[in-house]
Structure 1
Amino acid sequence: MTKRQEHLPDRHVRTLARRAVTTALVVAALAVTGATAGAAPAQAAVPVAAQTWSSYMYRSLTVVATAYQLRQTLAVQQTNQRTQTNALAAARAAQAAAERQLAGATAAFDAARPPLLAARQNLADARQRLAEVRPRTKANLTRAQNAVTAAENLHTLRQTRAGKVATALTAARRAAAAATAAANTAATTVGATAAAVVATQRRIAALQTPAQLAAQAAAVSHSVVASVRPVFTTADTTLVYGTTVHRSVAYAYKRMVDDAARAGIQISAGGFRTKQRQIELRRINGCPDIWTAPASSCRVPTAIPGRSLHEIALAVDVTSGGRSLTSTSPAFKWLKLYAHRYGFVNLPSEPWHWSITGG
């Protein structure tokens, strides 16, 4: 195998990282539900251990894409945070300007009140003097009336000015209130964007590596076998590219076949087989005894019926180009390097046999 071939899966992982996570979810759903091969039998309940294995492997195979998507989200959030922070600064500046205008309007209003009150008092005094003028000669009345008229004009002038100042004060108060509300809203938005950034950063930090997740799947693989075998029915299986496998391994197997193809390695496999077929194979492969002879005693190693992982669809016998794999097959070499990424382990005595436990 060339180095170019060896690095193709890594290159494909980077390609996957540029896809939306939703695409991966759709593919997973198709594989798990059997939609890759049309109609499927009614789905049975999958044991918890199998669900756990499937979850670990799905996350392992999509974590790079998930991390990429989260980093893209984080970049957008950080840009939004900067935008909102700038908007907050502008809102604070507008609030400060509005408060200065309010202070000026308040000062003008306060300054306008004493002259208005003085003019009002002066008018009252002028009217009082007109009423009390003595002697009530024409000249005295004219002077008193002129004083009243002048006082009325001054009062009107100062009342008009005070009215304008009061109107300006009302407008300034409204503007200040609006600016304060806008600044508070901007501050709330900045807080929310900052919280979103922190939440995404924590999600990124919490992501495990593909190797860590695959290792966790491997750690429960024997529990998967133990829990699946007693309750297994064919309703637990689905077809992936013509291979019948357990639903819990369908997505991982499909990804392995797809990624191998991208590396130039075409693989197919035989998956599920019935116990009766296992018995037939024991006879065909010349096992000394159907039920007791070890697999290694057969011409072609064949597990004792009831012990084969093929009987619960958790193993595949891989072929490439229509031939079973050997230790020198390009497909075997590729699987040896990468199959663990998909949760599959080789049985050393059989280059073609891959399962979730290596058994």
Structure 2
Amino acid sequence: MHRVVVLALDGVYPFELGIPHRVFGTARGLYEVVTCSVDGRPVRSDSDFEIAVEHGPEVLRTAETVVIPPYDVGRASPELGEPVAEALALIPRDARVVSICTGAFVLAAAGRLDGRPAATHWALAARFRRLFPYVDLDADVLFIDDGDVLTSAGAAAGMDVCLHLVRKDHGAEVANEVARCCVVPPWRDGGQAQFIPHPVPEATAAGTAATRQWALERLHLPLTLADLAGHAGMSLRTFARRFRDEVGMSPGRWLIQQRVVRARQLLEGSDLSVDQVAGKVGFATAASLRRHLHAAIGVSPLAYRRTFRATEGEAGTRELDRAG
């Protein structure tokens, strides 16, 4: 089993602390999840109780993936305390490291994010940038996968990034099973922009949800902004504005994202050729599919298919062919 070690710090948020076990622990017994603190003693949560953990920092030496849940941001500092620094130093160099929400502050203070893209909760973006100007923070996304380091936004984004890893390790079927058990979507559209406070639309105003569903059923067609706005019964300008308010991205970008998601499903679960997959999801050519898939996840269609057609034992360890 792939060992996931969760490092609980003082001030930890109890809900997010449980996310790794809830997600990875539901994945067909493919992961072992253990929790530790920097000294093996109970940790104070951000609520009115302490949390006892089974392990001390020595288990970090055995980790293949380490998850750092969020903690009270009032404790955040540009430098790590000695116990935390010593604990992080035990993590194997080839282990993946994942942060949820304010856990990114810990990775940044450890220098793990210098010059790299990272995510954290949108409400903390300004403070994060002040403390860690050498990190390429993107406060609009739900999570960022930068290979050996993954960072995510607030609580629900912790579910997103863990489900993403299950999918990356073992494919869509297993990730979808886990999502159903957790009663959460296997993939969420958009980024954090949809959760940042905006003026509330008038109660009588139409939304774009029905049109999004309509478009998902017609991804194979060359849909235009005019098609979408016409279905919604709005002007082009009104539709584009309302769509961005609700989804956090433009209609065109959303369509490409949905086509890539559907293409990934077909590459994983069908024997269709790359040309056929491109046609099924609305990309004009196989070259267009290759370009958009590579932009989204850094691999070619054939490399992606090879990864997810690997044997179960290989699927958890094979790296995506980023040169494909």
Higher helix proportion, which one? 1
Structure exhibiting the larger radius of gyration computed from Cα positions: 1
| TM-score greater than 0.5 by the shorter chain | no
> TM tier, shorter chain?
under 0.3
If asked which structure has higher relative contact order (CA below 8 Å, sep 6+), I would say: 1
